Structures are given as C-alpha cells and as structure tokens.
C-alpha cells in the first residue's frame, strides 16, 4: 500500500478510537466563539464587526489543542523511531500525519464556522469568504504546528513550549485571514489577502514536512 495512504488511514483509525481528539477542539471552538455574543449582548453591529477576529482566534487556539499529541504518542510507544528507520521517506510519513491532523482538527472547524457566522450576524457573502480563509489558513496552522510539535517531542512541558514557538508564526495567517474579510466588507476586495494566504499555504506545503522530518530525526537521534 502507498505509505502516505497507509499512515493516513492508521492515524484516522486511531482518532476514531479516541473521539475526544476531534470533539474537544470542536467544542472549544464553538464555546469560545459563543461566549462573546453572551458577554457583549445583542448589538448586531458590534458582533458583526468583531466576528472575523473572534472566529479566527478561536479556530487558531482550537487547532493548537491537538498539536502536542501529534507525535507524542508515537514517540512513547516507539512508532516514531520505526518511522525514522523505515525505508520509506520520512517526509512522506510526516505529511500523512499532518494531513490526518488537519482532517480531524481543521476540517470540522471549517464545517462549523458558517453556524457561528450566523450567530455573529455576518452576511452570506462574508460567511463564504470566512470559510474560504479557513480552508486556506487551517492547513498552514497544521503544517507550521507540526514543526513545533516535532521540535518539542519528548520535552517536559512541551505544550507550553510549543505555544511559545508557533504562536508568533501563526500571526501572519491570522492577519491575512481577518484582513480579507474586513477588506471585502469595506469594499476594497479580498483578492490580495487571499493571494498571500495561498502563497503561505504553498510555501508551507513545500517546506514544512521537510523541516518536520529533520526535527524528528534530531529528536530521535
């Protein structure tokens, strides 16, 4: 079997046995985003104004919840060392694990986002654009986060250290994603921000798996 497909199927099968890994980020995302309308009241104009930032920050934090476990379980049971020693290219196996993380942590957030957009009184066009930014941005979060997860695998207090490493790298994604929605609503067009997001995604897809593979080899050496 193709090593990418085999690793992807393995990780997705493990997630089905630990459903909390999917439900916890999804519940966190919806809960954090829903607290703002409860705290700020029913001012639709204010909710509409803060919606892109609130939803995107919630999505960013929810994505981070599963990153510390991306390689830690495999490191604990010896699977990570076997992946390094495998004749298959490590970058292929790492790419499959990153894909599995995005499918279980990013894809559900994209599906839930339109409901939260309605809660914040966003227009259908703005909701569609927000979904587009999430579709472009959440894979970047998983790819960059995988680098941090590989650098901190096996380190005590890895969760805190991981946050310190990757949060500054997430800021461009946050800026371009929310900027696209605000630019669209301001009548300036979102093409520029979407192009920058797409460029970040391309660079991350081409570079992050290789950097992550190198970091894993260093961690298991």
Q: How many other C-beta atoms can be found within 10 angstroms of the C-beta atom of residue 27?
A: 13
Confidence at residue 78, expressed as pLDDT on a 0 to 100 scale: 84
Domain count, the chain: 1
Could you tell me the two tokens for 19?
A: 């459903």
pLDDT of res. 136: 94
CA distance 28 to 128: 22
Give me the pLDDT at residue 118, please. 86
Tokens at 170, concatenated: 């997430």
Range of the domain at 40: 3-220
What CA–CA distances, in Å, run from 6 to 60, 88, 150, 217?
28, 12, 21, 21
At 26-76, the pLDDT tens digits run 888 888 888 887 777 767 777 888 888 899 999 999 988 888 888 888 888
> Above 90 in pLDDT, residue 198?
yes
Can you give the pLDDT at residue 1? 58
Is the pLDDT confidence value at 92 over 80?
Answer: yes
- pLDDT for res 177: 93
Alpha helical stretches, state H, 102-190: 107-119, 124-151, 158-185
What does the pLDDT read at residue 202?
95
What integer pLDDT is reported at residue 38 of this predicted model? Answer: 79
Neighbours of 189 (CB within 10 A): 11
Confidence tier at 187 by pLDDT (50, 70, 90): confident
Res 210: pLDDT: 94
In this predicted structure, what is the pLDDT of residue 170?
A: 92
pLDDT on residue 80 = 86
- For residue 87, pLDDT beyond 70: yes
Find, among 214, 170, 201, 207, the residue nearest to 58 by Cα: 170
Rounded percentage of the chain residues whose pLDDT exceeds 70: 98
Confidence of residue 95 (pLDDT cuts 50, 70, 90): very high
Matching residue, tokens 């839930």:
112
């Amino acid at each position: 079997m193709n090593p990418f497909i085999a690793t992807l199927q393995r990780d997705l099968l493990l997630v089905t046995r630990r459903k909390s890994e999917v439900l916890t980020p999804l519940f966190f995302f919806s809960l954090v985003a829903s607290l703002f309308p409860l705290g700020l009241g029913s001012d639709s104009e204010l909710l509409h104004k803060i919606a892109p930032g609130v939803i995107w920050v919630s999505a960013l934090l929810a994505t981070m919840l599963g990153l510390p476990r991306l390689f830690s379980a495999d490191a604990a049971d010896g699977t990570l060392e076997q992946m390094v020693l495998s004749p298959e290219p490590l970058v292929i196996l790492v790419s499959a694990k990153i894909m599995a993380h995005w499918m279980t942590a990013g894809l559900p957030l994209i599906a839930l986002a339109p409901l939260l957009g309605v809660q914040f009184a966003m227009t259908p066009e703005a909701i569609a654009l927000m979904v587009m930014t999430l579709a472009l941005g959440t894979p970047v979060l998983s790819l960059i986060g995988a680098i941090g997860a590989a650098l901190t695998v096996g380190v005590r207090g890895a969760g805190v250290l991981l946050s310190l490493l990757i949060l500054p790298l997430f800021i461009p994604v946050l800026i371009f994603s929310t900027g696209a929605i605000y630019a669209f609503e301001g009548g300036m067009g979102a093409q520029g921000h979407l192009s920058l997001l797409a460029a970040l995604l391309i660079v991350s897809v081409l570079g992050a798996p290789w950097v992550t593979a190198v970091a894993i080899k260093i961690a298991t050496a």
